[in-house]
Amino acid sequence: MLQIDQATYDAIVEHAKRDHPVEACGMVAGPVGSDRPARLIEMVNAAGSPTFYEYDSTDLLHLYREMDDRDEEPVVIYHSHSATEAYPSVTDINLASEPGAHYVLVSTREHGNNPGPVEFRSYRIVDGVVTEEEVTIASSTEAAEESS
Amino acid sequence: MAIEVRIPTILRTYTGGEKAVNADGATLSALIDSLEANHPGIKDRLIEGADLRRFVNIYINDEDVRFIGSLEAELSDGDQVVILPAVAGGAL
C-alpha cells in the first residue's frame, strides 16, 4: 500500500496537468527505511516527449547525492501518461530499477491541462513483475502526526 | 591503484550488498573488467556489445562519462566513479 499525504498527492497531480501533453516526472524522497513519501522533487523530463520521460543525467546524479546526504531514499517515483491509461508500459517495466520504490502513474488523458479528475495509481515493479497496490491519502496533518 | 565505485541498489546483488567497492583500471573499460573479475555478471548489466548500455549512467568525478570518452574515459588513482541506472520510461 502507498500512503501519501494530500499535499504531496495534489502537487503530483498539479505537475502532471501543468506539463501535459509532455510526460511529467519526479520523485518523492523519504527517510531511509520509513516508506514515507516526505519530500517532493519535480524533475525535468529531458526527453520533453509526450510518450517518454528521462531524468537529465546530471540532475539524476545531484538528486541521488542529495538524498545520500540527507539519509533519504526514493519512496515514490512518478510520471504521467498523457494519452494512455495509468498503467506501466513495457518500457516502464523494463527500465524500473528501484525495487523498493512505489511507481506512481498519473494519466492526464481525460482532462489534459484542465481541472478535473485524473487516474492516480501505484505499483511495485520488481524483476519485471508489476503489482498494483492501494493508494491511501491522508490529510497532511495526520501524516505528520503519524511520523512524529 | 584504487578507485571507489558506488553501486546502485539494483546492482548490489553482485557486490554482496556493498554500496561501494574498489576497482582499478586506467580507463573505464578496464575498470569494468576489474569489477567483473570480482563481481561476476555485473559487466553485462553495464555494457551491451561494445558500448555502455543506453539506460545506465556512469560518472567519473561527477562528470557523465558520455561527455568524456565513454568507455575510453581515463581514470587516475583516487577518482570516484558512480553508477546510476537511468530513471526513465514512458507510454510507448
Is residue A85 less than 8 Å (CB to CB) from chain B?
no
Closest Cα in chain B to A126: B10
Radius of gyration of chain A (CA): 14
Residue A145 pLDDT greater than 80, yes or no: no
* Regions of chain B where pLDDT drops below 50: none
A57/B86 touch (CB, cutoff 8 Å), yes or no: yes
- CA distances A81 to A11, A37, A52, A97, B91, Å, are 16, 21, 9, 19, 6
Amino acid A139: pLDDT: 82
Please tell me which of the candidates A54, A61, A89 has its beta carbon nearest to residue B84.
A61
Helix (H) or strand (E) holding A15: helix A6-19
Please tell me which of the candidates A25, A84, A98 has its beta carbon nearest to residue B9.
A98
Instruction: Give the start-to-end residue ranges of the domains of chain A.
Output: 2-147
Give the full edge-to-edge strand order of the sheet including B56-60. B20-23, B3-6, B80-85, B56-60, B63-64
Q: Which residues of A touch B55 (CB under 8 A)?
A: 95
Residue A140 pLDDT greater than 80, yes or no: no
- Distance CA(B45)–CA(A132), nearest Å, equals 27
Q: Which residues of B touch A123 (CB under 8 A)?
A: none
Amino acid B92: pLDDT: 81
Instruction: Give the start-to-end residue ranges of the domains of chain B.
Output: 3-85
- Distance CA(B26)–CA(A26), nearest Å, equals 36
Q: Which residues of A touch B10 (CB under 8 A)?
A: 97-99
The predicted-structure confidence for A58-86, as pLDDT tens digits, reads as follows 999 999 999 999 999 999 999 999 999 99
* For range A18-41, the mean pLDDT: 98
Interface residue ranges in chain B relative to chain A, Cβ cutoff 8 Å: 8-10, 55, 57, 59, 62, 64, 66, 82, 84-92
Is the domain defined by B3-85 classed in CATH 3.10.20.30?
yes
ipTM: 0.93
Cell numbers placing A58? 546530471
pTM for the predicted model, two decimal places = 0.94
Residue A148 pLDDT greater than 60, yes or no: no
Q: How far is B58 from chain A (nearest CA, A)?
A: 9
* For range A35-42, the mean pLDDT: 98
Q: Which residue has the cell 491511501?
A: A136
Contact B89, A86 (CB under 8 A): no
Enumerate the H helices of A20-121 as residue ranges. 57-69, 90-95
Q: Which CATH number fits domain A2-147: 3.40.50.2000, 3.40.50.300, 1.10.287.3510, 3.40.140.10?
A: 3.40.140.10
Q: Which of B14, B65, B87 to mutate to test the interface with A (most CBs of A within 10 A)?
A: B87
Burial pattern A41-78, b for ≥16 Cβ within 10 A else e, equals bbbebbbebbbbbbbbbeebbebbeebeeeebbbbbbb
Please state which of the ranges A41-55, A69-83, A134-148 shows the lowest mean pLDDT. Answer: A134-148
Is residue A50 less than 8 Å (CB to CB) from chain B?
yes
Q: State the burial class of residue B15 (Cβ atoms within 10 Å of its Cβ: 0-12, 13-18, 19+).
A: middle
